Amino acid sequence: MRAVYYSSGNYEAFARPRKPAGVDGKRAWFVGSGLASLAGAAFLVRDGQLAGERITILEQQTLPGGALDGIKEPERGFVVRGGREMENHFECLWDLFRSVPSLEVEGASVLDEFYWLNKDDPNFSLQRVTHQQGRDAGTNGLFALGDRAQRDLVKVFLATREEMEDKRIDEVFGEEFLASNFWLYWRTMFAFEQWHSALEMKLYLHRFVHHIGGLPDFSALKFTKYNQYESLVLPLVKWLLEQGVVFQYGTEVTDVDFSFADGRKQATALHWVRDGEPGGVELTADDLLFTTIGSLTENSDNGDQRTPAKLKEGPAPAWDLWRRIAAKHPDFGRPDVFGSHIPQTKWESATVTTLDHRIPEYIQKVCKRDPFSGRVVTGGIVTVRDSSWLLSWTVNRQPHFKQQPKDQIVVWLYSLFVDVPGDYVKKPMQECTGEEITREWLYHLGVPVELIDRLAAESAKCVPVMMPYVTSFFMPRKAGDRPDVVPPGAVNFAFIGQFAEAGDRDCIFTTEYSVRTAMEAVYRLLGVERGVPEVFASTYDVRALLNATSRLRDGKPVDLPGPHALRKRLNARLETSEIGELLKEYNLLPE
């Protein structure tokens, strides 16, 4: 087994690894068919050169993709549980999709298609925040961070990981910060709550410091042409099937057996229930097992236009599997740190499909673009600042589904506070039908009150989705709560997905993290002689740090200390130095 190492630059990125020794005698098993498993199977084929027919993906549902979903349900309508925001420095994700053929453009990869799309139609928002029924909230792209809030940010940025372990965000940030535009942008973009992990907040700051300036208008983001299922999952699954990879649906994995001896850990058996019948397979040292642990979409429930989505707090198979595994060794993580706090980890989303041109007229007033243009519409979420639900909504490029009629618009919305009565519909979101959720959204969209009920009933169809565990990975945590991708001494198994601890400094709730854990797992277990792309090192780039500093100060220069004469002399010395040139470039020196 080769140690994983990280690399950057063309030398490693463009090199083809040699075929690992003994790979022809191995088989691979994946628990779950989310992005981590699909990526892992692809890396086994492409870089590990394992024959596709020797790879089996076990999935409880009847479709692959996990949280990367998007479907039209009979009677209910179009459904997406969530959206995926991407950026140019998702190094592992783009390394994967450079090898997956596009379903849209002949001779192109999924990466080519995505790259060209975002070159021709770059993403940015023209209206990030509203209030007072669809009016501009006047944030004007400013972060509005006072001196104390800026000090809080710097303190967290410079803190060690250990200092942030097991702490909540509101334990390390004061009220001034939590009242700022920055926190409004941040929490609604990433779905952070005040009680979530300060450590994860710190990791996000480091990971995306190069995009601080793009937070107010989403110019940092890039999106797929269609929903994530059709744009990412389907081409990847098609390519895997062409390589011979086996998908076994209707299969709930219930347990994994291990042997422990002399510091060596080996998975020895898989147990499952398939179509109601118990089954499984014995595993040898040549059987590689990749298990997705935990699940942010476990026990999701869909409502419809007339029915609220239910909050399911009963048995959760994905979490129960991790609990059984974790009980067998301390190195296998602590699932209850994440999966036993439904009041803190739940929120609700909804997919609204407009049925005629009446509602899109109001969408256009807010986003300032034609939603039927086929190009960027809102450019990311529009947050309703004075919404008691803290509601945000977005319209991606339309059609969002290939089978979507040309005169319909698919809107996705979500709320962080689902237990609080609404402003128009005086009920908590989690008690609302699709029609009632649409009414609340139309109210905040600026539809005249006398038209709201009629338009919600006649001009839209809405599918609400309640997700009990959707932010479970944001719960305060410490080292050891998430198991390493390949635990110490493991010889034939790995943990992948959002609840596995990747070796490099990445953050969760991204497509990148799922792919990174899969890449690390495959390269480690097979000994692939290629570096895993390191996380983009903007946190060590003085230019990125200076630019972020300038933007966080809303362009206000840094005041030099001391008397006026001394400040003048310091300015003069700085202006003739490389440091001064940098400070001037990022508007940090006073004129």
CB-side exposure of 482: number of CA atoms within 13 Å?
A: 28
CB-side exposure of 299: number of CA atoms within 13 Å?
A: 21
Contact 264, 489 (CB under 8 A): yes
SS3 string, 340-394, reads CCHHHHCEEEEEEEECCCHHHHHHHHHHCCCCCCCCCCCCCCEEECCCCCCEEEE
Write phi, then psi, for 78 (nearest 5 degrees).
-75, 145
What is the C-alpha end-to-end distance of the chain, expressed in Å? 58
DSSP-assigned beta bridge partners for residue 222? 86
Catalytic residue among 85, 113, 193, 298: 85
E strands, 164-320, are 246-248, 251-261, 264-274, 277-282, 287-292, 301-302
Kindly give the residue spans of alpha helices, DSSP state H, lying in 121-197.
147-158, 161-164, 169-172, 175-178, 181-190
Contact 272, 280 (CB under 8 A): yes
Checking DSSP bridges between strand 493-496 and strand 287-292, what pairing results, if any? parallel
The type of residue at 302 is N
**CA 107, 241, 84: angle at the middle one, nearest 5?**
70
Query: Which conformational region is residue 421 in: left (phi greater than 0), alpha (psi within -120 to 50 degrees), or beta?
Result: beta
Catalytic residue among 185, 200, 204, 440: 204
3-state secondary structure (DSSP) of residue 240: helix
Please give the Cα distance from 141 to 128 (Å, whole number).
8
| Longest Cα–Cα distance in the chain | 84
Find out whether the peptide bond into 64 is cis, omega within 30 degrees of 0: no
User: Could you say which DSSP state residue 230 is in?
Assistant: I
Strand order in the sheet with 264-274: 251-261, 264-274, 277-282
The rounded Cα 540 to chain-centroid distance in angstroms is: 23
The residue to which tokens 């999709």 are assigned: 97
Question: Does an H or E element contain 548, and which?
Answer: helix 542-552
Contact 496, 488 (CB under 8 A): no
Those residues whose C-beta lies under 8 Å from the C-beta of residue 439, and which sit 6 or more positions away, are 424, 425, 452, 453, 456
Contact 416, 393 (CB under 8 A): no
| Residue 85 annotated among the catalytic residues of the structure | yes
| Residue 523 annotated among the catalytic residues of the structure | no
Contact 437, 350 (CB under 8 A): yes
The residue to which tokens 């062409």 are assigned: 242
Q: Whose CA is closest to 439, among 426, 451, 452, 450?
A: 452
Q: Point out the residues that are catalytic.
A: 85, 204
